[in-house]
């Protein structure tokens, strides 16, 4: 029997994935919310053909990418 991952462990993995994409220069280009979480599409400004799809299932993970999205929008406004 496999051990179930705790909500916190799942969030930590999602957060690491989000932070890795941000560190690589990806930006959120779309979000599709649904009952099981959200699908986030990431795009890289230097790689227009390459989008990354990410499923975020935890409430904390959704809050985390929302924080990243707000930061991106603030940067766009100040540019």
Q: Please write the tens of the pLDDT for every residue from 11-49.
A: 999 999 999 999 999 999 999 999 999 999 999 999 989
DSSP class per residue in 11-72: HHHHHHHHHHHHHTT-EEEEEEEETTEEEEEEEETTEEEEEEEEEE-SHHHHHHHHHHHHHH
* pTM, two decimal places: 0.87
Instruction: Report the pLDDT value the prediction gives residue 2, as an integer from 0 to 100.
Output: 42
pLDDT band of 3, cuts 50, 70, 90: low
The encoded tokens of residue 23 equal: 């560190």
Round to whole Å and give the CA distance between 58 and 14. 8
């Amino acid at each position: 029997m496999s051990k179930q991952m705790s909500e916190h462990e799942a969030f930590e993995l999602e957060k690491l994935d989000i932070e890795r994409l941000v560190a690589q220069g990806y930006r959120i280009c779309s979000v599709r919310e649904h009952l099981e979480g959200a699908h986030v599409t990431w795009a890289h400004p230097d790689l227009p053909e390459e989008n990354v799809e990410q499923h975020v299932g935890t409430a904390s993970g959704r809050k985390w990418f929302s924080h990243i999205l707000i930061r991106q929008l603030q940067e766009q406004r100040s540019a």
